[in-house]
Chain A
């Protein structure tokens, strides 16, 4: 990839008519094939005994980690969100990690990929919200706390999708660009150090993308529980505990 090409979309391998087979698509296929083949090979013979193969151990650690993180944010029902959030995390993480392979161009360094992922989140938030608490309650959330906030809530919804896409794109693209620029300035050893730093930021970005998606979904599905807690004083005890938990979360979010 040349230094003047800021996205892998511009690296075209094959084209006929209006069909362009660019680097983004090809390397997305590579990542997908890698993930599917790897998971298939590992899960072909799983054991539930005490003797685990090392690869099964790896997968179990990854899945367990994701489930734990989701449960810390979304509280209960982690398995409901695991397929979506986990897919986002694993896809971004693997394509960022594979960046150290020479010749591989991370598909997340293209704005089209990250925009697609962000749009997935944008669609998933109302879907989970409506499935969790019904259409009316979900829509009511937009006019909270007053009706004046309606346009701001809508703008917020759109702008955070844009931010999600541009953040991932900018981080991965800047990692690639810095590597390429340093290769021209200090070709010995130093680009490797920056590549290692790129591995770290790539993983953190994958983590952040998944966590933010989860936070958005959790905030869309939370309104009903708060109302239920207000409406049913008979169940004061669990409701109170929930309120406490929510306040703790709110503090966390404010800190963030």
Chain B
């Protein structure tokens, strides 16, 4: 098999696997965080503003891991350094 075909194949497959695995963890974590925040808002409606703010910041932190996976998969597909080396 030609090495550029091999690189293309592996890059695309890896991109799919990366985003698939990388989104499962943050999704579970964000779901848990959201459920906890909703519960505490139901218990203490007065603190809703502070809980929401903290929740947003926390969700962004959790989500950034998924974003890293997304960036890596985008690089694998659109800006793959090994691929460019073989095409040129």
Q: A166-B68, A170-B68, A171-B67 are in contact. Are A256 and B74 (CB under 8 A)?
A: no
A171 contact set on B, CB distance < 8 A = 67
User: CB-nearest residue of chain A relative to B37?
Assistant: A255
Of the candidates A5, A166, A207, A252, which one forms a contact with B64 in the assembled complex, judged by CB atoms under 8 Å apart?
A: A166
The answer to whether B75 and A6 touch across the interface, beta carbons within 8 angstroms, is: yes
The answer to whether B50 and A6 touch across the interface, beta carbons within 8 angstroms, is: no
The answer to whether B70 and A174 touch across the interface, beta carbons within 8 angstroms, is: yes
Assembly CA distance A243 to B28 (angstroms): 35
Assembly CA distance A188 to B71 (angstroms): 27
B78 contact set on A, CB distance < 8 A = 4-6
Of the candidates A174, A211, A212, A215, which one forms a contact with B67 in the assembled complex, judged by CB atoms under 8 Å apart?
A: A174
A side interface size, CB within 8 A: 24
Distance (whole angstroms) from the CB of B76 to the closest CB of chain A: 11
A167 within 8 A of B: yes
Q: Is the interface of B mostly helix, strand, loop or mixed?
A: helix
B21 within 8 A of A: no
The answer to whether B74 and A6 touch across the interface, beta carbons within 8 angstroms, is: yes
- 1/0 contact trace for B25-67 toward A, CB 8 Å? 0000000000000000000000000100110111011011001
The answer to whether A204 and B71 touch across the interface, beta carbons within 8 angstroms, is: no
B79 within 8 A of A: yes
A208 within 8 A of B: yes
Q: A163-B64, A211-B57 are in contact. Are A169 and B50 (CB under 8 A)?
A: no
The answer to whether A212 and B57 touch across the interface, beta carbons within 8 angstroms, is: yes
The answer to whether A252 and B67 touch across the interface, beta carbons within 8 angstroms, is: no
Assembly CA distance A255 to B59 (angstroms): 11
The answer to whether A6 and B56 touch across the interface, beta carbons within 8 angstroms, is: no
A177 within 8 A of B: yes
Give the top 3 A-B pairs by smallest Cβ distance, nearest first: A170-B67, A208-B60, A256-B58
> Can you offer 21 A-B residue contacts whose CB atoms are under 8 A?
A4-B78, A6-B75, A6-B79, A69-B53, A72-B50, A72-B53, A163-B64, A167-B60, A170-B64, A170-B70, A170-B71, A173-B74, A174-B67, A174-B70, A204-B56, A204-B60, A207-B56, A212-B57, A255-B54, A255-B58, A256-B54
A residues near B (Cβ < 8 Å) are: 4-6, 69, 72, 163, 166-167, 169-171, 173-174, 177, 204-205, 207-208, 211-212, 215, 252, 255-256
